[in-house]
Structure 1
């Protein structure tokens, strides 16, 4: 009998969608040590400021904060240490080609558990300019206003 999982998502990088134009994404396993898994299960991780980098044909996750588990005695490496990501060689090569040819970066977007294993979703990203961010905010606000007007109209109010 399978355990019901209510919400396996640990952390989302909401800033990533605002700061970057997100492209293709992959699901990667993450190598954790010791009490990091229990720290994740406590649900206090943060992806803000995190990025992935290829070193020696391996993908490494930098800047992701996984706090120390409260009941553990010690914790090696610190809460923002670099962690290895697990992907197939072909996927790593594809990511490396795209990074080198078009100047993209790799950012983590979601950290979650899947079948009891910690996974991170990474996406190729291109940085947005300030005016792009303002344009996206204005567009989102206009869509929200239009949706509200439609709902008011359906309810019979003409405000």
Structure 2
């Protein structure tokens, strides 16, 4: 069997960029059971309630839903079990230090296969307030309107 190449996305946490201000991102490997990998290869996972916890100098991914493999037997996994993340010791120490001193949280952004191995992109993030979200939405809308006006003027149309 040929080795798998490239980047195959499985799941994304689209709401994370809306609810959090992303400060830094990391790529981590996952320790998975065989039925979890098969379920992920079918493109089934949800990162919505996921978060990362540093416990005893190890990073753990909590709350990520990988449904049971439909053709699995008694060896099937539980859907919301905690999963160990594979990061360098320096990265874990840096994340732990920043979480403790600045009050940041660590959330999963996306889950994907990279060259046949399951990876998760995690981010150090700070929660946004509701007024921050409204402000970001207003800025995005203003930028879109400016780009539309520039496009109209380039085509020779008037308002």
Q: What is the total number of aligned residue pairs between the two structures?
A: 158
Give the structure 2 partner of residue 154 of structure 1.
154
Structure 2 residue runs of 5 or longer lacking an equivalent are none
- Distance in 2 (alpha carbons) for counterparts of 1:85 and 1:39: 18
Contact 1:8/1:113 (8 A) holds in 2: yes
TM normalised by structure 1 equals 0.92
Give the drift of 1:34: 2.2
Give the structure 1 partner of residue 28 of structure 2.
28
Give the drift of 1:11: 0.9
Aligned to 2:108, the other structure's residue is in SS state strand
Q: Rate the CA distance shift 1:127–1:37 in 2: closer, same or farther, 3 A.
A: same
Give the structure 1 partner of residue 60 of structure 2.
60
Give the structure 2 partner of residue 70 of structure 1.
70
- Distance in 1 (alpha carbons) for counterparts of 2:155 and 2:27: 42
Spell out the pairing of 1:2-151 with structure 2 (5 A cutoff): 5=6, 8-74=8-74, 76-151=76-151
1:76-117 CA-to-partner distances (Å, cap 9, x unmatched) read 442111100000111100100001111100000111111100
Structure 1 residue runs of 5 or longer lacking an equivalent are none
1:45-100 CA-to-partner distances (Å, cap 9, x unmatched) read 11111100011110000011111122222454421111000001111001000011
Please identify runs of 4+ aligned residues in structure 1 that moved more than 3 A. Answer: 1-5, 74-77
Q: Rate the CA distance shift 1:3–1:61 in 2: closer, same or farther, 3 A.
A: closer
RMSD of aligned Cα (Å): 1.7
Comparing 33-42 and 65-74, the one that deviates more: 65-74
Give the drift of 1:15: 0.7
